[in-house]
Chain A
Amino acid sequence: QVQLVESGGGVVQPGGSLRLSCATSGFNFTNYAFHWVRQAPGKGLQWVTFIRHDGTDKYYADSVKGRFTISKDNSKNTIYLQMSSLRVEDTALYYCAKGDSDWGQGTLVTVSS
């Protein structure tokens, strides 16, 4: 069955960096686009970034543009989110999503001094 498993979250100081991973299985990875979506504590869902199935197009929310980078490794069936210049307001549970259908369980990022 389809599985998406996020990892790499943790506690980081403002200005720091973190790389999230989303390991996938159960489907043909190269056929699908992916999103990262985050949810701050007690808040709603906020889209972060998108990558097309072939990696040719990438889009970012204004709030993370220039600081976050999405990538995919077809050999590992894995999506990555490189986050730098992290801010307190980036604190959230980060989900990866396969298209608009399947979601992982999320990985928690806490930015705090």
Chain B
Amino acid sequence: QSALAQPPSASGTPGQRVTISCSGSTSNIGTHPVSWYFQPPGTAPKLLIYNNNQRPSGVPDRISGSKSGTSASLGISGLRSEDEGDYYCAAWDNGPNAWMFGGGTKLTVL
């Protein structure tokens, strides 16, 4: 099963806004809600966004998610050094009946 498509890397300076894209197809993002996860080095993934644009309690409002058609994006504004790590999108896929993940985007705060 192929992964959702994410850029392998992204970067920004403190205070900037960055956007990470996630591209899929009609059988996954086009049909099902998208989740986004943050994984700092050496730790387990943590949910940032569910149901395309909903933030769990504790996730600041400088984190946002959106979806259009078969693509989704994660926005992070007011970049901080602690935002460095790997970001993954995920969505269920009707085709193989599998939970698909993007390949991950490594965010660097310069």
Contacts and interface: CB of A to CB of B under 8 A. Distances in A.
A45 B88 contact: yes
A23 B14 CA distance: 39
Q: Dominant SS at the A interface? A: strand
Given A61-B1, A100-B50, A101-B56, A47 B44 contact: no
A103 B104 contact: no
A46 B47 CA distance: 16
B44 A103 contact: yes
Given A62-B96, A101-B56, A44 B50 contact: no
B90 interface: yes
Contacts of B35: 100
Contacts of A47: 1, 98-101
A105 B42 CA distance: 10
A59 B90 CA distance: 16
Nearest to A45: B101
Interface string A89-113: 0000001000011111110000000
A102 B45 CA distance: 9
Nearest to B101: A45
B3 interface: yes
Nearest to A97: B45
Contacts of B101: 37, 44-47
Contacts of B102: 44
B46 interface: yes
Contact of A44 (B44, B47, B88): B88
A44 B99 contact: no
B47 A59 contact: no
B103 interface: yes
Contacts of B98: 47, 59, 61
Nearest to B3: A44
Given A45-B104, A101-B50, A50 B44 contact: no
Interface of A: 35, 37, 44-47, 50, 59, 61-62, 95, 100-106
